[in-house]
Structure formats: structure tokens, C-alpha cells
Amino acid sequence: MATPTLTFLGGVREIGGNKVVVQDGPDRLLFDFGPSFSPQLEQYYVEYLKPRSTSPAKDLLEFGLLPRLEGLYSREALADAGLAWKAPEFHAVFVSHAHADHAGYLELIDPSIPVYLGSGTRELLRAIETSTPMRYGDHAWRVLDDRRPVRVGRVEVVPYPVDHSVPFAYGFLVRTSEGTVVYTGDFRHHGPRAVDTHAFFRAAAEERPEALVIEGTRAGPDSRRNLSEEGVRREVDRLLERHRSLTLACTYPRDVDRLSTLYSAARAAERTLLVSPRTAHLLVSVAPLLPPGTVPVPGTAADLKVYGRKRKRTYLWERPFLEEALSSEEVRAHGRNYLLSLDLVHFPELIDLRPPKGSPFIHSMSEPFSEDDINDRVMHNWLDHFGLVFHQMHASGHASASELFEIVRSVRPSVVYPVHTEHPEAFVEAVSGVRLPELGRAYPIGGR
């Protein structure tokens, strides 16, 4: 019988875009399916320049941004792509978490291929579809339970919760006929669910795995400052203590932990946290799936309100949140009562809000990768124009280099495949058994 194999169709020398295929005899499973963040996709497509909705696969295949595979894509996605539709040759797609670089291309996948994901991740994708133009397509959705194995042909997959900058993230133990592959997805050790990450890697070590497919976002040289989630809380507390004016913050839209941190800090400082209708909708959607009190719920949580931008049109889903939303006039008049979460795309609100000069702006996201980042430049132009003071306070969604190498040493796999990193060679210098994956090559699993 043919040896099971591991193939990397994305996430090779790039951050994001993991597309990992495990094949065991006739059974073929795909782990994650989204665009890479850096740099490939952005060489051709940016916010204002997107693949056409009438020929998405064609427009991505043109630049090699999508693997040229048969038996995976839907007829609709393949329209005009020069790649014939074939009956599915993949038997399952597993999604580790709801970030775009792991789930963003699901819409292209044939609807008859089952998609496995956590119930929380399913809920997040639903909330994103309701409140943004993003689409994931129709699928045979299969909801996973923590640590409960599922079988796809001869392969057994066990989903373990891990801590990441979006809730409901999973790492997977993938048991093939020749041994186990550990697929980490994205994870960290310094967030509120660190115990989950530890438990996953303990289970992974007990498995005596043949292969460890590990993310390495922060494996290389990284001078950017990183705090723990608690560290962010302490710094926001200190800032709110020092300032008596409107304070602004911007976060990743799905970073529920950060929103909780900002909320707690605002309350402690006797302020109200103001969020967008989209964030309010997200919190309402995920709250029932999290332990009570984990996230503030709009409508019931004290000191949490929605900020209502002036709009010409509103969507049906946001109307309930807008009924009691606060206006820019109110926020401007009583700025010291508020911590306002304001995305870069909504910066024109500053023209009405006019915070006093010297008011703080908390950038609670990654610092830009490059020195010449246009969004970063534009953000600073706005902050300078209004005399706002920039404060960087962020806890990354990813483990540090030393933590990554420590994990490899504790899990002791036969082979380590670093993915989701621009610096896979950093692993070679630090630990043994590393194989730098090449795009599209099939690596045998087991046979030690």
C-alpha cells in the first residue's frame, strides 16, 4: 500500500496561506485554505483591486496565487479558468480558525466537500458574512467538538483548542495509517487561553508524532515589541489614569480578547467602551459560545455602547445596534467618559470628534512589517493633523521564536516542517529534524 504523504500547497516561505494536504491511500484531507498575507497576494491584489467575482479562480491562477488542482474547486469558481471541473477528489477540508489567511478561499471549494470546523469558528464565519462583503460559500459544514476524534476514511483527526488572537482556534492531531501528523494552525502562549495551547502540545508529545507542521510567524528576526494580553491591560490602565480626554484605540476586528481587555480597562477607569455596530454584532454572535463573562455583550453589559457614525444608508443587521448609539456630538462633548474603538477606515470621524490635542491613540495591532507601509503613513498623517499621540500596545497572536523552538524540543517529532513563516531556516539553526517544505512536493509520512 502507498505510504501516506504530506504536501504543502501554500504557507511555504510566506505568512498565511497554509494549504496542507494529507493523503492516505484514497483519502485526501486539506487543512486550511486562504490567501497568504505576505507578500504574494498583495503583489497583485489590494483592498481596491480584487479578483473578479465572475472568475475568482481564473484571476488568482493567473498569478499562481492558487494551486492548480483538480477535484477541489466548484464549477462556479472555475468559470472561464481554463481548468476543467472534476468530481471532488478531496474528502474533507479542516479549518483551524476564522482568520482570512486560513479560511478566506473556502468559497472556491466545491460545495459537496465537507468542511470541518469548530462551532465557534462556524459562528464567526456566519457573523463575518452578515456584517461584511466576505463570502465563504455553501458547504456541507461539519461541526467539531473539542478533543473528539472524527474519522475521514482511514484518517482520524482530533481537534484541540489552542490560544490565538481569534477565539475558537484549533490545532489538529492527524492520525494516518503510518503515524501522526501534528498541525498547529496558529497559536500563542501569552493569551488568556494559554492552558489550552499547553494541553495541545502535551497531547502532541504523547502521540510520538512522525511530523510536526508548525507555524513560524515570529521565528525570524523580529524587533517589534510584543506584550502579553495582561501587559496590554496594564499599559492601557496606566494611560487611562494619566489622561482625562477622549481616548481612541484600534484593534483587529476579530480580536475578541483585545476587545475584552479594552472593555475591562475602560470600566476600571470609569469610562464607557464604544464600539462599531460590526463589533457589537460580532460580540453578540460569539458570546453564547464562550464562558459567561468572557466578553461584554452589547445591550446587557454596563459601560459598553455603540458609536453611530453618520450614514446615508444602514444595513438591516445593524439597525438594532444603532437605536441607542452615541453620536459624535455626545462623544466630543464628554470625551473623558469614553474609550472609543475606531478603525482606520473610519478616521474621517475625527473631523467631527476633534479630540483635544495630546489625546492618546492606542494602536493595539501589529506594527507594520515594512518601513514603507502606506496605511501606516496615512494613519500617522491623520494623527499628526489632529495632534493625537500614538501608543503601540499589542499582544501578538503568535508564539515567540524561543517558544516555538521549545515546543519542537518537547514534542520530539521525527520531522519538523515550518510553515506560515518567511524565515523557516530559523528552525534549522535552532532545532534538529527540520525539513524546509517545498511547494507542491509530497513528503512521506512515517517509515522511521
User: Does residue 197 contact residue 188 with C-beta atoms inside 8 Å?
Assistant: yes
Residue 425 grid coordinates = 531556516
User: Does residue 360 contact residue 389 with C-beta atoms inside 8 Å?
Assistant: yes
Stretch of 184-192, 219-227, 235-243, 379-387 contacting Zn ion, by CB under 5 A: 184-192
- Looking at the Cβ atoms of 162 and 342, the one nearer to Zn ion is 162
- Looking at the Cβ atoms of 18 and 261, the one nearer to Zn ion is 18
Q: Which residues does residue 179 pair with via DSSP β-bridges, in sequence order?
A: 176
- Looking at the Cβ atoms of 74 and 96, the one nearer to Zn ion is 96
Query: What count of other Cβ atoms lies within 10 Å of the Cβ of residue 435?
Result: 16
Please, which of residues 99-128 interact with Zn ion by CB under 5 A? 99
CB of 397 to Zn ion, least distance (A): 6
Give the number of residues written for the chain: 448
- Looking at the Cβ atoms of 59 and 215, the one nearer to Zn ion is 215
DSSP letters for 75-135 = TTTTTTSSS--------EEE---S-HHHHTTGGGB-TTSEEEEEHHHHHHHHHHHHHSS--
CB of 396 to Zn ion, least distance (A): 10
CB of 186 to Zn ion, least distance (A): 4
CB of 345 to Zn ion, least distance (A): 21
- Looking at the Cβ atoms of 99 and 139, the one nearer to Zn ion is 99
Strands of 241-396, DSSP E? 247-251, 272-275, 304-306, 338-341, 360-364, 389-392
Report how far residue 24's alpha carbon sits from residue 389's, in angstroms, rounded to the nearest whole number. Answer: 56
Among 59, 107, 186, 215, binds Zn ion (CB under 5 A): 186
Report how far residue 174's alpha carbon sits from residue 106's, in angstroms, rounded to the nearest whole number. Answer: 21
User: Does residue 436 contact residue 3 with C-beta atoms inside 8 Å?
Assistant: no
Stretch of 96-104, 122-130, 322-330, 400-408 contacting Zn ion, by CB under 5 A: 96-104
CB of 337 to Zn ion, least distance (A): 34
CB of 11 to Zn ion, least distance (A): 11
Stretch of 4-12, 26-34, 91-99, 386-394 contacting Zn ion, by CB under 5 A: 91-99
- Looking at the Cβ atoms of 17 and 51, the one nearer to Zn ion is 17
CB of 327 to Zn ion, least distance (A): 35
CB of 118 to Zn ion, least distance (A): 13
User: Does residue 269 contact residue 249 with C-beta atoms inside 8 Å?
Assistant: no
Stretch of 70-78, 97-105, 343-351, 357-365 contacting Zn ion, by CB under 5 A: 97-105
Q: How many residues bind Zn ion (CB under 5 A)?
A: 2
Report how far residue 339's alpha carbon sits from residue 331's, in angstroms, rounded to the nearest whole number. Answer: 10
- Looking at the Cβ atoms of 99 and 190, the one nearer to Zn ion is 99
The answer to whether residue 163 forms part of the interface with Zn ion (CB under 5 A) is no
Catalog residues that contact Zn ion under the rule CB under 5 A: 99, 186
